[in-house]
Structure 1
Amino acid sequence: MNNRDTPPQPETAADTPVQPDAAAAPKASTSLDRELAEMKDRLLRTLADMENMRKRTDREVADARVYGISNFARDILGVADNMHRAMQALDDELRANADDAVKSLLDGVELTERELMNVLEKNGVKKLDPMGQKFDPNRHQAMFEMEDASVPSGTVVQVMQAGYTIGERVLRPALVAVSKGGAKAAPAASANDNPTQ
């Protein structure tokens, strides 16, 4: 028999072309949109993490530049203290009566001390001079209190050992004596204390 003589066969499910389900298309689209939104969120979070890491690294590098010499500077401060004590041990009369060789030696020690302080300052190490200032426990270490009614209570009245800062940090607090028994320090004026209002 040839193909023209055969009666048409009924179509089976296997022979029908697959038509996309109209309900499945919006579900696939919604799924793809959700996946795209998740990927965008991940990308934005990754970019934010990278930016934060870059900023943190920049800050750490800057801190290392400023504070990298802290341990060395702290050790050198002992040398500076000893040179200062050596110069303070000689009173003006002893210096005036010294012979030329001793005067030259003293001048050399003074020049060396000044040069050492200049080098420290050039590298970001600054001397604290708290004399007459209000006691600050973040920058000063109180060794004892002194009765002094001429200054407000809590004022630095004597400095036993100078303090130093490096950058914004305290390298070594100043060892100080603090007044007690004087008048209370005046409170700092605030913006709310305006009598014209």
Structure 2
Amino acid sequence: MINRAILVGRLTRDPELRYTTSGAAVATFSLAVNRQFTNQAGEREADFINCVIWRKSAENFSNFTHKGSLVGIDGRIQTRNYENQQGNRVYVTEVVVENFSLLEPRSHNQNSGFQQNNAAPSFDNNQAAPQSSMANPFGSPASSSNNGGNNSANSAANSAASSANDPFASNGESIDISDDDLPF
């Protein structure tokens, strides 16, 4: 069975951090996720998805995000129900967040001074702090600096470095593969 939800969107309000009676941190928030298509008026609609995150990740999420923050989350969909004060059965569907990533540089966040660089940290339920790796897995630099005209030199050096590390970069030579090289 597979139950996996991966979403990218903006927070509709600040995360609401609370603590259970046993002391476990829990934060709830709503994520606005744009739809891939526009309606008849040409406007892009959004889905507002309720999410919950637990323990140290909830504290980190609450400290590093605010209304309007662009985040990526990874988790599972959970449905639960309870009986309200009027005796009606209420069903709740939400995403239980297991991992999250902040997708904007720290300079876009107005109310925090924790991090001095522009890298966006990633978190999961097994981590208490931001990942220290500044490398961007997609081959571009993690942050760009404005050195008054040295950006072209920096980008040339970065592209040369990424080409040297790329095992699939074409250097003009053909690849010779025989049937004995194939694993199947």
Query: TM > 0.5 between the two?
Result: no
Greater per-residue helix proportion: 1
TM-score w.r.t. the length of structure 1 is 0.19
Larger Rg: 1
Greater per-residue strand proportion: 2
TM-score w.r.t. the length of structure 2 is 0.20
